Each structure stands twice: as structure tokens, then as C-alpha cells.
Amino acid sequence: MITIRPARAGDEAALAKLDERTWTPDVSPAPAPPPGTPFFGDGTRPEDVLVAEHVGVVAGYVRLGEGFGIPAHRHVVVLDGLAVDPDRQRRGIARQLVEAAVAEAARRGARKVTLRVLGPNTGARRVYERCGFAVEGVLRGEFRIGGTDIDDVLMARSLA
């Protein structure tokens, strides 16, 4: 059984470990988090993270953020991170997390949810599309990873 709930401060170690286990250059242009990197802090607060539990174990998370932090952009919530334990993938956890994030964004009064995903990350792109997100733009060759130019795909879902 999968349960989605708000993150708690006590989830920090499990979430940090999940970040370490799921990071690859296929999912993030940023460097891998060094072991021991705290999950919360640097703008990530427990109240902005939803956690998926599978059989009582933290199996994934989705992080919500604000876009530009200006009044004209307050109606937009950014899906700012999604991770599912590799041992628990293909059970619908990512989809449930994304749908829960959309519901939370609506609860917060958002009219739109946006995200960015690397072009080659086709698995994540399929999840987002199944959850009603559409491509709004592509930044061609936005990142150079492993000697290859990688597109940054901008996706969004309207809540209006």
C-alpha cells in the first residue's frame, strides 16, 4: 500500500539517502549531492515536501517550490523535485506523488503548476504527461552533460 503524506523533520535522513540513491546525470544537471548532505535547508522545508510511503518505508518524495518569488508569479507552484526509490519504481508512486503535488498546489491557490525535466528523461516525462502536464517550451542544448548537449523541457499543467 502506498500512502502520501506531508514530510516531517524526522524524514530527513531517509530523504537525503533517497537523493543519493536516485541522482544520475540523466535526471539532474547539478552535481550529485555529497554523502551526508542535509535534505532540508537551502529553501527546502518539510512543509513543501510530500512523501510516499510503501509498506511503512519512505519510497519517494515530491518537492513544491515557488517560481520567481514575486507577486506577479504567486499563482504558479513549481514542481521542484521528484524521486522514487529505484527498488520501488513501476508501482505508480511517481504518479501518485505528482497528483498529490497538483492537489496541494490547488489547495494553496495556484492556478498553474510548472516543472523542468531533462529531455532524455523520458520516464519522468511520460509520468508528467499522464498527470496532465504539457510541454510549453524546450531550451535546446541548455545543459552540457558528459560531452552531450541536453535539452531542458518546460512543462506545465493549468489548474484554472
pLDDT (tens digit per residue) in 108-134:
999 999 999 999 999 999 999 999 999
Q: Which residue from 107, 106, 15, 122 is spatially nearest to 60, judged by alpha carbons? A: 15
> What pLDDT does residue 33 have?
84
What pTM does this model have? 0.94
> What pLDDT does residue 120 have?
95
Evaluate if residue 34 carries a pLDDT over 90: no
**3-state SS class at 113:** strand
**3-state SS class at 108:** coil
Helical spans, DSSP H, in 2-154: 12-22, 93-107, 122-130
> What pLDDT does residue 114 have?
98
Locus of grid cell 531550451: 139
Evaluate if residue 26 carries a pLDDT over 90: no
CA 61 to CA 135: how far, in whole Å? Answer: 22
Which tens digits make up the pLDDT trace of 43-100?
A: 899 999 999 999 899 999 999 999 888 999 999 999 999 999 999 888 899 999 999 9
Locus of grid cell 515536501: 49
Is the alpha carbon torsion for 23, 57, 105, 74 positive or negative?
negative
Task: Write the CB contacts of 80 (distance below 8 Å, at least 6 apart in sequence).
Answer: 63, 64, 65, 115
Mean pLDDT estimate for the chain: 94
Type of residue found at 69: G
Evaluate if residue 160 carries a pLDDT over 90: no
* Multiple choice CATH, 2-158, 3.20.20.70, 3.40.50.300, 3.40.630.30, 3.40.50.1000: 3.40.630.30
> What pLDDT does residue 37 have?
87
